[in-house]
Amino acid sequence: MTFRSLLLVTLCFLSLSKLATAQHEKPLILAHRGGAYEYEENTMEGFRACYDRGLRGFETDVRMTKDGILVILHDDTLNRTHNATGSVEHMTAAELKEVTTKKGQKMLFLDELLHYLADKPGMYVELEMKTSNKELYPDARIEEYCRKLYDAAQAKKPATSQYLFTSFDERPLVAIRALDAKTPMAIIASKPLTEEFIQRAERLEATHIACQLKGTSRAAVEEAHKKGYFVNCWPGRAVEDYYLAIGLGIDVHCTDIPVAIQSTKEKLP
């Protein structure tokens, strides 16, 4: 590396550090699946560890069993993360109580997570509605799923916490909005923030937008802010992603390494 290149890198780092200092409260650090790269994803171990480390933003994934019980799982099947195979949608809650993660932790049910959070004020929690697979979630099942999720979240949410309903699938967002005209919710897409994306959020009456960090511009974030939207960018898998999130001026940084990012944040001047 030449001296000029080294100087440019140093100046860039100093600029980012100053920016981070000025905006140290923003973005909120969101523990994606309870810290998916630091703990077994979507487990009480991960959520507890993140909370104990000072994280106050959680993201998780909600599915519904064959007998209508809400559970925490990202994938369409248990194959990758648990010592079992198949979809939770084809199993009963009783069957899932016998299922463990690859490292031996028990299957996490939504009511267990909500109970844990019930005495923890000031939390920001994103509940992703994993209903995009229409074979597992035909239209006829959406209303039941959304009603149960909404009622469960509202029943245990501390007054000072914000619980957000999110999805790639528009159907549950429409259903949630029909249940509550004001509850916060976000449309998610695996693409950068664009004007088209903002228009989609407007059509769905969403309050938040969740988009890819890579490719999102500061101008697009500012445009979303002008229209009253909160912006969540993901995925975050390196400290550099956190600095980029600060530079973009986003509201929430969804990261798989929340404890590492929290440590970085605490070291800022």
The 10s digit of each residue's pLDDT in 165-208 is 999 999 999 999 999 999 999 999 999 999 999 999 999 999 99
Question: Domain 26-267 is in which class?
Answer: alpha beta
What tokens does 247 get? 């530079």
pLDDT tens for each residue of 127-145: 999 999 999 999 999 999 9
Which pLDDT tens digit goes with each residue over 6-37? 333 333 444 444 433 344 578 999 999 999 99
3 state DSSP class of 108: coil
CA 46/CA 38 separation, integer angstroms: 8
> Cα separation of 241 and 146, whole Å?
33
DSSP assignment of 236-262: E-SHHHHHHHHHHT-SEEEES-HHHHH
Q: Where are the domains of the chain?
A: 26-267
pTM of the model: 0.91
- Buried b / exposed e over 139-162, threshold 16 CB at 10 Å, is eebbeebbebbbebbeebbeeebb
